[in-house]
A and B are shown apart, each in its own frame.
Chain A
């Protein structure tokens, strides 16, 4: 008989994350189908999601602007294996450079068939243009953008 070496335990904790004024404004924008960004007055980089300070210049980033819901898909991965409580695989997550942004916005990509590992690169090449698809019901959260999809040529 093998000895008893483990005992199962379970955690289920709920938290409220405090957004702060910068991310609150971003979330308010998403609810209104607007993608709000802000800009560093020193280096002129445009942050989306916005951030209160520029960590390169150590100054407040208080100039706001609205970005178009469209940009370049710079990189993505297709998740073949997920995890408990997560989305059902396969699903694709990309880093999208919205037109005018200096940072990447991470989000889901929907449209191409990602079921064949061998063909994903040809179905959606890096550098493709993608556009945000808004959720029908929006409550002020990142999934108010339902996902991004390729822009038809």
Chain B
């Protein structure tokens, strides 16, 4: 028999800069976990496993997933699955928890994502150590240098200019300003973005994400149990996909072929035939401005080269990254779990009121990571009464 899995509870802490953060990773995680339990009214004793993200090697302040779990205040004897897939760790937490629930071996699984790499004094130097060793690491690339390849190629192919890229940042900031959990909560203008410090052509400082600190927790359970206070967000379909390891193995930086392939696969599983019309909300992981239009295009939500136009339009039919996205809040593992958390909250009707889109039936969540963003993950959430039972994929 096939079981269904749904997001039944979400908790997150407000985000802030590393400099202003007074709480440790363990303290932040504990706050997020108890917020998730309170959200759905679940007793910690009803949890039967924890899936926790742990990117070891990125910095000295990371606590092992197992020792961190002991500090969450949710009692003894909980099996712990420690997940470490580098930058995509947060995006894979729910994928693992949902498979545990669907398998029927677990009933209610807690996902925990804390902040990562906020201690590095020079983050780009730290990121350079995880770029492909031997072949590409010696060339001196940090995160945004690697990101800039796609920005350059996309610009050249579709005639996207710096003003278009800046418009994405302007839109993200306007949304994050309304999100009580966002980190960069101020408006910017196109001129501000263009005048910001150049990082790696064509990207300026205002076009890339900050380093944030926060924690996100999520409870995945059986949607057919009715002891909780929330309306579950059914995980209708999900999947992951990988490009070659080397940046140069991608072959074409001007479009996101790997994500397009994954989207076709996940849409088929979820019976999504007209994504542009069917989704009410999409939350994509776009820490750099060029990524958001490219992702929307790969996800069939905009025509090739038309992603910026969709973002500029402030489309009322499809809400794109109402949270403000990782461009304004990126807390490592927590940051990668956030699109899943926000998309699920939208379906549950429990997003922060300032962000909640009215009448959400179907939402898409996306994550990506890897030095050249080789790794993609995706999930489709649906309100339970909009799907017939047993049709999950």
Contact = CB atoms under 8 A, between A and B. Distances in A.
A contact patch SS: loop
Nearest to A93: B139
A107 B140 CA distance: 10
B251 A103 contact: yes
B197 A108 contact: no
A69 interface: no
Contacts of B136: 106, 142
| Chain A, interface residues (CB within 8 Å), range | 35 or more
Contacts of B125: 83-86
A89 to B, nearest CB: 9
Given A49-B246, A86-B125, A86-B142, A81 B198 contact: yes
A117 B145 contact: no
Contacts of B128: 83, 85-86
B246 A95 contact: no
Given A95-B248, A103-B246, A106-B139, A75 B153 contact: yes
A75 B149 contact: yes
A21 interface: no
Interface string B200-211: 110000000000
A76 B152 contact: yes
Interface string B127-145: 0100001111011111001
A134 interface: no
B225 interface: no
Contacts of B248: 49, 95, 103-106
A55 interface: yes
B253 A95 contact: yes
Most buried by B among A78, A79, A85, A105: A79
A117 B140 contact: no
Contact of A80 (B21, B135, B198, B253): B198
A97 B122 CA distance: 32
A102 B252 CA distance: 10
A21 B145 CA distance: 30
Contact of A142 (B135, B141, B156, B253): B135
B148 interface: yes
Most buried by B among A55, A83, A85, A142: A83
Interface of A: 3, 5-6, 8-9, 11, 17, 19, 23, 47, 49, 51, 55, 74-87, 91, 93, 95, 102-108, 117, 120, 126, 141-143
23 contacts: A3-B22, A19-B134, A51-B244, A75-B149, A75-B152, A75-B153, A76-B152, A77-B201, A81-B124, A81-B198, A83-B124, A83-B140, A84-B125, A86-B125, A93-B141, A103-B248, A103-B251, A105-B248, A106-B247, A126-B153, A141-B134, A142-B134, A143-B138
